[in-house]
């Protein structure tokens, strides 16, 4: 007697699941599959979208002959009893486009405790990964501009007060080590006329009235715009300001110097 997950009765339920789910037997033949999974599979390997009845009973290798060779090793390990997964797995489509996938796979067991097959849950996360990479690259370019400037650069509010920049933070699991991570980034946008001679991007400066709505989620992308010209003052300062954090940090960093 097999697991309830592998009976034909499970397919109508699994088929309508909003998540990408596939259930395999010990020969990696599909026993149940969601339509979301089949849609993702077609996109991943640039193939036609198959209905469930054209997949059930066939192996994953028949349905997806262009699957990465490493997948066979994953399947063998899961069928041997391991539970495996990747928070960010990279797959290259035939057209050269990169696709990022989050997946987990584990064995299922029959009523006698023996492994009967595997359960796969996956999610396409390309958009999320590309957004995070773009933010990191933009931040790195912006930081490099200041660190390599011929003179130091400082931006402050006209009244001398601290500026508030829009940012993002997240908790995630490192795909390399599996360790939980906390990270943050400053959001940048097109430069205004004041800062454009230095760089084509600038941090998003929040007005005082917008800080609360940004932090509590009431405000969104409508705030991601260049700062008004009167929101900043700029003057040359010592290059030491570009290397803060090394112990060389005092109020004289803001003193104006000859350009």
**What tens digit of pLDDT does each residue of 57-87 get?**
999 999 998 888 899 999 999 999 999 999 9
- Residue 135 domain-assigned (yes or no): yes
pTM for the structure as a whole = 0.56
44 and 93, same domain (yes or no): yes
| SS3 track for 15-36 | HCCCCEEEEEECCCEEEEECHH
Last-in-domain residue among 102, 124, 146: 124
146 and 95, same domain (yes or no): no
1, pLDDT greater than 50: no
132 and 120, same domain (yes or no): no
Mean pLDDT of 163-168: 88
pLDDT at 6: 45
20-67 pLDDT per residue, tens:
999 999 999 999 999 999 999 988 887 889 999 999 999 999 999 888
For the chain, the domain total comes to 2
- Residues 89, 102: contact at Cβ < 8 Å? yes
d(CA 212, CA 245): 29
Which of 168 and 258 is assigned the larger pLDDT?
168
Which of 178 and 237 is assigned the larger pLDDT?
237
Sequence-separated contacts (24+) of 248-257 with Cβ below 8 Å: 253/152, 253/154, 254/154, 254/156, 257/151, 257/152
Residue 95 is part of a domain; what is its CATH number? Answer: 3.30.450.20
95 and 132, same domain (yes or no): no
Residue 155 is part of a domain; what is its CATH number? Answer: 3.90.1680.10
Sequence-separated contacts (24+) of 69-75 with Cβ below 8 Å: 74/105, 75/24, 75/28, 75/105, 75/118
- Residue 184 domain-assigned (yes or no): yes
109 and 136, same domain (yes or no): no
19 and 63, same domain (yes or no): yes
164 and 52, same domain (yes or no): no
Burial (CB count within 10 angstroms: exposed 0-12, middle 13-18, buried 19+), residue 23: buried
Q: Which domain holds residue 44?
A: 4-124
Last-in-domain residue among 124, 141, 162: 124
d(CA 108, CA 89): 23
pLDDT at 72: 94
101 and 131, same domain (yes or no): no
Calculate the alpha carbon distances from 81 to 21, 77, 115, 116 in Å.
Answer: 19, 7, 7, 10
Tokens encoding 60? 């994953």
């Amino acid at each position: 007697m097999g697991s309830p997950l592998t009976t034909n009765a499970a397919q109508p339920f699994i088929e309508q699941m909003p998540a990408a789910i596939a259930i395999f037997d010990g020969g990696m033949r599909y026993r149940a599959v969601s339509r979301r999974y089949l849609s993702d599979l077609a996109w991943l390997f640039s193939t036609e979208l198959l209905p469930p009845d054209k997949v059930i009973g066939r192996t994953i290798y028949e349905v997806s002959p262009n699957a990465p060779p490493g997948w066979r090793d994953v399947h063998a390990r899961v069928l041997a009893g391991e539970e495996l997964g990747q928070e960010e797995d990279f797959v290259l489509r035939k057209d050269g486009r990169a696709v990022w996938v989050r997946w987990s796979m584990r064995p299922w067991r029959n009523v006698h405790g023996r492994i009967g097959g595997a359960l796969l849950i996956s999610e396409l996360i390309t958009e999320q990964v590309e957004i995070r990479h773009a933010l990191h690259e933009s931040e790195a370019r912006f930081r490099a501009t200041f660190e390599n400037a011929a003179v130091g650069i400082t931006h402050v509010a006209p009244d001398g007060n601290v500026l508030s920049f829009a940012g993002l933070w997240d908790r995630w699991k490192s795909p390399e080590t599996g360790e939980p991570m906390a990270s943050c980034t400053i959001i940048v946008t097109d430069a205004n006329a004041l800062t454009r001679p230095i760089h084509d991007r600038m941090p998003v400066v929040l007005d005082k009235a917008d800080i609360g709505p940004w932090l509590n989620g009431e405000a969104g992308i409508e705030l991601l715009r260049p700062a008004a010209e009167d929101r900043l003052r700029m003057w040359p300062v010592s290059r030491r300001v570009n290397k803060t954090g090394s112990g060389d940090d005092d109020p004289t960093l803001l003193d104006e110097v000859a350009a």
